[in-house]
Amino acid sequence: MAPTLDEFLGRKGRKREKLEESGLALVSEEVLGELVERVARLEERVGKLEEELQELKKRHASGRQMRAQEKEERSRPPSLFQRALDALNAKGYVSVVKDLGKGDPEEHERVLKRLEQMGGVVMEVEGDTLIVHPSVYREFRERLETVGERDPVACVELFGRAGKLFNELYRRGLLYYSSKDSRWRML
């Protein structure tokens, strides 16, 4: 603790007596009082700043932890369901064999059931199951009835968003062009 004015001035010997005689001792007491008040206010402000600093440190640490967790999640391979959704968004359909690969058949069933519940159209095709996005399937069925183009390569473009599904079914031999009807038919 800091010495009081009396203690400080007492150490100086005669200077205290001279200060008291001139009236400066009273001024010094007032100045000391102001200084004590200022120090008290400064201590209060420092205390608040220390609390804020601790809060910022906590937030920074939790933010760092969240970033590390996000990085870890990104480094993990996507779930089977996420892979199915990615394929559905990219192609308009999911092939269990090509897109989901080998794995737990029960998990495949859960994913297929969930996609079907979400409106996906299930197509069983020679040793594989395709789940088709409902809007892609509607577009595919409409184009199948209206497109009269015989060339399958040209049809992929004419089928629009359903062109990838057309190509997949054509490559598997499940589509043929009927000359009699001048349109594509599905087996």
What confidence category does residue 33 fall into, taking pLDDT thresholds of 50, 70 and 90?
confident
Would the pTM of this model clear 0.85, i.e. be above it? Answer: no
C-alpha distances out from residue 24 to 8, 32, 62, 149, Å: 14, 12, 56, 110
What confidence category does residue 8 fall into, taking pLDDT thresholds of 50, 70 and 90?
low
What confidence category does residue 71 fall into, taking pLDDT thresholds of 50, 70 and 90?
confident
Among 126, 112, 111, CA closest to 168: 126
**What are the residues facing 127 on neighbouring strands?**
none
**Structure confidence by residue, pLDDT tens digits, 142-182:** 998 888 899 999 999 999 899 999 999 999 999 999 889 88
**Structure confidence by residue, pLDDT tens digits, 110-140:** 988 999 999 999 999 888 889 999 999 999 9
The H or E element containing residue 26 is: helix 24-75
CA neighbours within 13 Å on the CB side: how many for 59?
6
Asked if 153 contacts 118 with a C-beta cutoff of 8 angstroms, the reply is no
- Please list, residue by residue across 41-74, b when 16 or more beta carbons sit within 10 angstroms of its beta carbon and e when fewer do: eeeeeeeeeeeeeeeeeeeeeeeeeeeeeeeeee
Among 84, 128, 136, 92, CA closest to 110: 84
Neighbours of 84 (CB within 10 A): 23
